[in-house]
Amino acid sequence: MKNILKIAAVGLLGFFMQSCNNGDSNDKRSRGAMASNVAERVYVAPGDHDEFYGFFSGGFSGQMSVYGLPSGRLLKVIPVFSQDAEKGYGYNEGTIPMLNTSYGFVPWGDLHHVDISQTNGELDGRWVFTHENNTPRVARIDLNTFETGEILEIPNSAGNHSFAITENTEYLIAGTRFAIPSPQRDMSIDEMKGNFKGPLTFVKVDQETGGMEIDFQVIMPGFNFDLAHPGRGKSHGWMFATTYNSEEASTLLEVNASQNDKDFIVALNWQKIAEYVANGGGTKMDAEYAHNKFDHETHTATTEMKKGIMTVDPKDVPGAVFFMPIPKSPHGCDVDPTGEYIVGSGKLAAELTVFSFDKITQAIENEDYDGDAYNIPILNYDNILAGIVREPGLGPLHTEFDGKGNAYTTFFISSEVVKWSLSDFQVIDRKPTYYSVGHLMIPGGNSQKPFGKYLVAMNKITKDRYLPTGPEMNHSAQLYDISGDKMELLLDFPTIGEPHYAAGIPADLVKQNSKKIYRLDENKHKYKVTNESETRVERNGNEVHVYMTMVRSHFAPDNIEGIKVGDKVFFHVTNLEQDFDVPHGFAMIGANTAELLVMPGATKTMVWEPKKVGVWPLYCTDFCSALHQEMQGYVRVSPA
């Protein structure tokens, strides 16, 4: 039996490899499918604005990018877990602390999922949250400035592959892709089974500020806990997460982790566990983690190293955690807008399993269990099943909803998006994607109120979709119109890094809160000046502080003498402008950091350690006026 399953799994992998190689002939198919007025439907006339913002994960670029939809125009790249020369992020004194971790300065991260804050289950447009997989961290981007405001490291975790936001943004729930010794220790990898754990981390979010704090970790048995979604509506207070590798294999997972006919989805009552912790339950565990915050008044980031987290063993909270069996290596696990249906996608299966929350509640009430695993009750599969979507495609991954009773699921292996009905689980429509789609996104499609007009498919393989650019092609996203019965492909556009996931929101819910300037009178930077008469150069040993201003089109001071080789020069540069969209830049020859890009009303600091005697130029890097070219100066460096 096991061998047959092994062959089946390997067979699917073989199919996947094939599907990656047959790209070229699909092109005509996509053109043929297009209606004649497609261009009009994605055209945003010069000066007009898009209807939606799309926030796209940048995967291994460590960044998030902001696109306008339906045009597919790139509006901004927001550095989160990466240094970004364009924004000066992660290079200067004010932003370096954002990338501190308990492992030191880690200027790269693998940014996977993005999600927008919610109030009463609806998108509220205040914050976008994200996380990274490699050195587990979660982050908040503030949508008044479109800047990263906070990064919190997740200790006792590895492979923070996904996270979920509860319907009032009470919690971010961070999963773990790798089971690990918990707490970490030196032990034989062969002894993984039963000894490795998969902690789920609950990060509490302050409803006013968006501030994040680790509340507790549920130390789940050693499966790999992967994609999570919170309940909503009737299932609010619960969360559902897929597991894979219930075999607990540590080697050759492609075969060894695909043997069991069924893995599990975890149903977890987080409200119950949060109450248990609030009432003094749980065990304190040693842990060290960095908590980094960016203050928009001082324009400065700080790192606080924290110690200790609260952990909960699920068996100490009876009635809070259950397993639901699901066929073949589940990947996605998505909850419909009503909170009743939980869709599980076994990526090595050719069907979708839909569970009913009402039936789950009933089964728990009746203690209708099929035994247990690790003391966690297993709910009887047949008793909680709402329905099965039969033969929808191969390799189902992720599902989103249009709010009109339909679900849309991506199929990685057969490269398509399939629309099916939540009322009878029948397939309604299917459209190819180019190629090998991972996630899909409908604005609000994982909330109680989807805006079911567009769907974006995010593809893993690009092949012939764009002009060739050498061996590497940018990933592609594809925009579909889903307002009618049939989906229509409207647009391809390239993305930055790997677009694991995206979140979309009507522009009207965000744009009126977007800040235009930082007010100079609110600037609380330690080294700010408010007019040119306060600019100066101060020496303290071999540390030199230059209090500098920038305004169209000069620096003050613009000629600096008295600097010596071996000095450490801090340029504290304030942009005195109070007009929208007039940043100035600052660059110094030979500086091994990026430039500074300083917004009106803000102050930023660059450190320069002159190595050579001479008279060295500095200049503004951002074209700011007709006299931008004249915005320059000199620093005289004398021998030590």
Residues in binding contact with ligand CUK, number by CB under 6 A: 11
- Cβ atoms of 395 and 348 closer than 8 Å: yes
C-alpha distances out from residue 489 to 42, 59, 446, 448, 511, Å: 11, 24, 21, 25, 27
Q: Which is nearer to ligand CUA, 464 or 622 (CB)?
A: 622
Nearer to ligand CUA, 501 or 518 (CB): 518
Question: 165, 437, 569, 620: which one contacts ligand CUA (CB under 6 A)?
Answer: 620
In angstroms, what CA-CA distances link 522 with 298, 527, 530, 585? 9, 13, 10, 21
Tokens of 442: 């409908």
**Is residue 220 within 8 Å of residue 177, measured between CB atoms?**
no
CB of 497 to ligand CUK, least distance (A): 11
Q: Are 222 and 196 in contact (CB under 8 A)?
A: yes
Task: Look up tokens 């001479």; give the residue.
Answer: 614
Site for ligand CUK in 427-446 (CB under 6 A): 438-439
Tell me the residue nearest to ligand CUK as measured from the CB: 500
By the rule CB under 6 A, 419 interacts with ligand CUK: no
By CB under 6 A, which span of 119-127, 222-230, 489-497, 619-627 interacts with ligand CUA?
619-627
Residue 622 contacts which entry, ligand CUK, ligand CUA, none (Cβ below 5-8 A, type-dependent): ligand CUA
Among 520, 498, 537, which residue's Cα sits nearest to residue 598? 520
CB of 59 to ligand CUK, least distance (A): 7
Q: How many CA atoms lie within 13 A of 386 on its CB side?
A: 25
Kindly list the distances between the CA atom of residue 3 and the CA atoms of 255, 348, 350, 432, in Å, as whole numbers in the listed order: 10, 15, 19, 33
Q: Which is nearer to ligand CUK, 223 or 570 (CB)?
A: 223
Closest C-alpha to 430, from 516, 369, 489? 489
CA angle 152, 157, 159 (to 5 degrees): 95
Interface segment toward ligand CUA; rule CB under 6 A; list 55-63, 336-344, 378-386, 624-632: 624-632
| Binder of residue 360, out of ligand CUA, ligand CUK, none (CB less than 5 to 8 A by kind) | none
| Chain residues 460-489 in contact with ligand CUK, contact rule CB under 6 A | none
- Do residues 434 and 463 touch, judged by C-beta distance below 8 A? yes
CA distance 91 to 603: 15
- Which range touches ligand CUA (CB under 6 A), out of 233-241, 332-340, 528-536, 622-630? 622-630
Please, which residue, 177 or 584, has the CB nearer to ligand CUK? 177
Contact residue for ligand CUK among 140, 232, 465, 500 (CB under 6 A): 500
Window 145-184: contact mask with ligand CUK (x via CB under 6 A): ----------------xx----------------------
With binding defined as CB under 6 A, does residue 554 bind ligand CUA?
A: no
What is the C-alpha separation between 599 and 576, in angstroms, rounded? Answer: 9
In this structure, are residues 376 and 392 in contact, taking their beta carbons and an 8 Å threshold? Answer: no
Minimum distance from CB of 498 to ligand CUK (Å)? 7
Estimate to the nearest angstrom the gap between the alpha carbon of 33 and the chain centroid.
32
631 binds, among ligand CUK, ligand CUA, none (CB under 5 to 8 A by kind): ligand CUA
Asked if residues 336 and 233 have their Cβ atoms less than 8 Å apart, the reply is no
Contact string 501-540 vs ligand CUA (x = CB under 6 A): ----------------------------------------
Q: Pick from ligand CUA, ligand CUK, none: which does 162 bind, CB < 5 to 8 A by kind?
A: ligand CUK
User: Closest CB to ligand CUK among 299 and 331?
Assistant: 331
Q: Which of 87, 131, 331, 604 binds ligand CUK (CB under 6 A)?
A: 331
Mark the segment that binds ligand CUA (CB under 6 A) among 101-109, 268-276, 374-382, 616-624.
Answer: 616-624
For residue 626, the minimal CB distance to ligand CUA (Å) is 10
> Where is 384: in which H helix or E strand?
helix 381-384
Mention every residue, 6+ apart, whose C-beta is less than 8 A from residue 394: 12, 15, 350, 411, 412, 413, 414
Please, what is the minimum distance in Å from the beta carbon of residue 570 to ligand CUA? 20
Residue of the chain from 112, 229, 431, 572 that contacts ligand CUK (CB under 6 A): 112
**Would you state the structure tokens that stand for residue 419, as one six-digit string?**
């629309």
Q: Nearer Cβ to ligand CUA, position 66 or 546?
A: 546
Q: Given the complex with ligand CUK, which of 113 and 197 has the nearer CB atom? A: 113
Residues 6+ apart with CB under 8 A from 388: 351, 352, 353, 354, 425
CA end-to-end span of the chain: 78
Among 113, 197, 229, 584, binds ligand CUK (CB under 6 A): 113
Q: Name which position in 624, 633, 635, 637 contacts ligand CUA (CB under 6 A).
A: 624
Task: Report the partner that residue 331 touches, choosing among ligand CUK, ligand CUA, none (CB closer than 5 to 8 A by kind).
Answer: ligand CUK
Residues 556-615 that bind ligand CUA (CB under 6 A): 584
CB 402, min distance to ligand CUK, A = 20
Query: What are the structure tokens assigned to 348, written together?
Result: 């090595």
Q: Should residue 628 be labelled a site residue for ligand CUA when binding is judged by CB under 6 A?
A: yes
E strand residue ranges, 154-282: 163-165, 171-174, 180-181, 196-205, 212-220, 224-230, 238-244, 262-269
Of the candidate residues 631, 633, 635, 637, the single one contacting ligand CUA (CB under 6 A): 631
Sequence-ordered list of residues with C-beta below 8 angstroms from that of 587, at least 6 positions apart, any chain: 595, 596, 618, 619, 621
Contact between 332 and 242 under an 8 Å Cβ cutoff? The reply is: yes
Q: Is the dihedral of CA 19, 24, 28, 31 positive or negative?
A: positive
Which residues bind to ligand CUK, rule: CB under 6 A?
112-113, 161-162, 331, 397-398, 438-439, 500-501
Which residues bind to ligand CUA, rule: CB under 6 A?
553, 584, 620, 622-624, 628, 631
